[in-house]
Copies of this chain bind each other. A is one copy, B any other.
């Protein structure tokens, strides 16, 4: 049995709490947040606190707080030589105060409060400073039903960058497609099966192999027609840049 204390009450903390609650070999012994009201919905099922001095003993303290709060909060912890992990994709492990043993437990997924997630599908990226803690972090991920990957700081920060392309930027392209549809009274719904299929396709083949469309074919007539059709200058710039990127990838000029 692994005992854990959760710190923070944002999307990642909430999803971690739910995943850990359902795991047979993890006990969340306490949940801390700066403002206790945010945790009041959970007061009946778990010990909650807003007082760091009251933190209970546990195998691991998981800090799922904003990037900017990690260093300060780790300094304020009123104990030493225990295991403390943050969950950020981009903050260095060494931002954690070294009076404790330090680690990273980074769930690579997009978390929104309102979107339910199958947590067993979330890959956990693990980093440890003290080698002896690797197994505990792996066990923690496994107990939550997740695959884990031991990676370096540089790899984690690179993954976080790649995730911005694959998630935030992709979602912005959906947003632009949505705007383009609305401008001509087309239901955005019609595009959703295509969006799902685009994501599913790369389960089976590389994005390189999966590519189709006018840029890959270097179909100048269609590209020209599209550029004429785009009313928003910013969308036009994105169309041109990504078309050039696809052409370069597929050896077209």
Q: Which residues of A contact B (CB under 8 A)?
A: 67-68, 90, 108-112, 114-115, 117, 121-123, 125, 149, 151, 154-155, 157-178, 180-181, 183-187, 190-216, 219, 221-222, 225-226, 229-230, 234-235, 237-239, 241-242, 244-246, 248-249
Contact = CB atoms under 8 A, between A and B. Distances in A.
A208 B173 CA distance: 11
A27 to B, nearest CB: 26
A67 B177 contact: no
Q: State the main secondary structure of chain A at its contact with B.
A: helix
Contact of A169 (B161, B173, B234): B173
A163 B246 CA distance: 15
A181 B125 CA distance: 14
Nearest to A169: B242
B234 A245 contact: yes
A165 to B, nearest CB: 4
Contacts of A175: 206-208, 211, 249
- Report the 8 A-B pairs with minimum CB-CB distance, sorted nearest first: A168-B213, A199-B199, A175-B207, A174-B207, A162-B177, A166-B177, A162-B180, A169-B242
A184 B155 contact: yes
9 contacts: A109-B194, A110-B210, A114-B205, A162-B186, A163-B177, A166-B195, A172-B249, A176-B245, A238-B241
B159 A181 contact: yes
Contact of A117 (B158, B164, B168, B197): B197
A70 to B, nearest CB: 12
A253 B62 CA distance: 33
B174 A219 contact: no
B174 A214 contact: no
A110 B177 CA distance: 16
Contacts of A151: 186
A110 B57 CA distance: 54
A110 B194 CA distance: 7
Which of A68, A158, A161 is the most central at the interface, judged by chain B CB atoms within 10 Å of its CB?
A161
A91 to B, nearest CB: 9
B197 A110 contact: yes
Given A166-B173, A184-B158, A241-B238, A194 B248 contact: no
